[in-house]
Amino acid sequence: MSLLIREVPVEDTPLDLLLLADPSEEKVRSYLARSRCFVAADDGIVAGACAVQPLEAGGHELMCIAVHPDRQKSGIGTALLKWVIDFYRKSGAGRLEVGTGTFGYQLAFYQRQGFRVTAIDRNFFIQYYPEPIFEDGIQLFDMLRLTLDFSGKSR
């Protein structure tokens, strides 16, 4: 695997990949304009992508991260997440936040990189998405908010 991770202009972001992580095209398009986008290319083929937008007080939010289904569980997502964490840590960001479902591999994916649960956004997925979202046959209702604090302080 020859993985190259780089920032791309918003208009070059592979929307099809981002929609794997966030099924609402309307929502994805609404936050892309305020986001920085990064892709992971393996041997020249884009296999992963993510979008990060600034928050107040030096924070940033990972809005979505996804890897092409044929390339999942190959380390591309982990490499992309680690790269983004390092990028924002070196840029002087205070923290990186992410929202995810309340169960499944995504939760462990973020926790392995040091993210900690800091809040629960109750009924997020039924309030902000027009169609129900299911993972492993279970409907998502609540969003967990996780934070990686670069100052070393836990929230």
Residue 151 has a pLDDT of 82
**Strand ranges across the sheet with 3-8:** 3-8, 36-42, 45-54, 59-67, 95-100, 143-149, 116-121
Which DSSP symbol is given to 69?
Answer: G
Rounded to the nearest integer, the mean pLDDT of the chain is 92
Residue 19: Cβ within 10 Å count? 15
pTM: 0.91
CA distance 91 to 133: 35
Which tens digit of pLDDT belongs to each residue from 93-116?
999 999 998 777 888 999 999 999
Give all domains of the chain, ordered by start, each with its CATH number.
3-149 (3.40.630.30)
